Amino acid sequence: MNRTAFQGEKGAYSEKAALEFFDKGIELNPCQSFKEVFELVEQGTCSAGVVPIENSLTGSVHQNYDLLLKYNLTIAGEIYVRIVHCLMALKNIKLEGIKRIYSHPQALEQCQEFLEEAKDIETVPTYDTAGSAKILIEQNIKDGAAIASEQAAKDYGLQILKSGIESNHENYTRFLVLKKENPMPQKGGKTSIVFSFKDIPGALFKSLSVFALRDINLLKIESRPLHGSPWKYFFYLDFEGSLEETASRNAINHLKEITTFLKVLGSYPKAEF
């Protein structure tokens, strides 16, 4: 079975990420929520799931960081996708007649400069970029437009009023590929972990020092609230190297001596950007 779950409708950017990562030889399973993606993979209904984790303009997708902690899945890979937002509407509709623009909140944020220039037009948040395109067709909305991908316009038979409306054209989203289990790369690659520690002086410094002592390059650190314990945090960390490498294993074993909780989220090949 090579069935891959993604959040959104046909034409979503997550679908594009899945097709590019797996080279199109897969069966796709659209989901209404990120949580559903995690559930389908954990249950074995799907062999893999693809979710966004961060965008170069708007930052991290916090919900998916929380879901990585909750579900017993492993990160099997990553891929970067260039995001090009298009404004689309029903056939024969003019830009001057648009009163509302539908899209996912992150897409609306990424197109903020364009939207600020479009005075007197209401923005309507939806659950998905491609889903907003689907809404136009299903509800026959003649005074509305959607922000989605070029592929979504093709899939739903919409006309593109304007392409490349994102505020910054260096707009990329990093997607993670999730599986129940995955063989680690023998060398190189990237490892993601999450940990927490007692609130004592120098705890974070000591935690990060285990990597500096071994010349391991840190790629990202992200903090998230520890639910049920106000003002305490989990720390998500990406670093270069596989747990098949001695230096990485030693760093993790050293970190276990300092932290009160540690979970390895996965070792996987590092995507080219």
Euclidean distance between CA atoms 208 and 221, whole angstroms? 10
* CA atoms of 37 and 254, how far apart (whole Å): 33
pLDDT at position 74 is 97
Annotated active-site residue 260? The verdict is no
The domain spans of the chain are: 3-83+171-179, 86-163, 190-268
**Token code pair at residue 28:** 């796709």
| Helix 203-212 and helix 246-258, axial crossing angle in degrees, nearest 10 | 170
The two domains 3-83+171-179 and 190-268 share their CATH topology (first three levels equal): no
What pLDDT was estimated at residue 199?
85
φ, ψ (nearest 5 deg) of residue 57: -105, -45
In the chain, beta strands by DSSP E: 3-7, 27-31, 48-55, 59-60, 74-82, 86-89, 100-103, 122-125, 144-148, 159-163, 172-179, 190-196, 218-225, 233-240, 261-268
Q: For the whole prediction, is pTM greater than 0.75?
A: yes
Q: Are 157 and 137 in contact (CB under 8 A)?
A: yes
CATH class of segment(s) 86-163: alpha beta
Measure the CA–CA gap between 157 and 150, rounded to whole angstroms.
11
pLDDT confidence of residue 185: 75
173 as an active site residue: the answer is yes
| Residues paired with residue 196 on neighbouring β-strands, in sequence order | 261
The confidence score (pLDDT) of residue 1 equals 62
Per-position pLDDT tens, the chain of length 273: 689 999 999 999 999 999 999 987 799 999 999 999 999 999 999 999 999 999 998 899 999 999 999 999 999 999 999 999 999 999 999 999 999 999 999 999 999 999 999 888 999 999 999 999 999 999 999 999 999 999 999 999 999 999 999 999 999 999 999 999 888 777 789 999 999 998 889 999 999 999 999 999 999 999 999 888 888 899 999 999 999 999 999 999 999 999 999 999 999 999 988
d(CA 55, CA 82): 10
For residues 194, 195, 199, 200, the Cα torsion angle rounded to the nearest 10 degrees is -120
CATH 1.10.10.10 holds for 3-83+171-179 = no
Q: Structure tokens of 98?
A: 């648009």
Q: Tell how strand 172-179 and strand 218-225 pair up.
A: unpaired
- Annotated active-site residue in 129, 173, 191, 259: 173
pLDDT at 58: 87
8 Å CB contact between 90 and 158 = yes
Q: Which of 6, 114, 175, 234 is catalytic?
A: 175
pLDDT score of 182: 82
So what's the architecture of 190-268 in CATH? 2-Layer Sandwich (3.30)
For 248: left if phi > 0, alpha if psi spans -120 to 50, otherwise beta; the answer is alpha
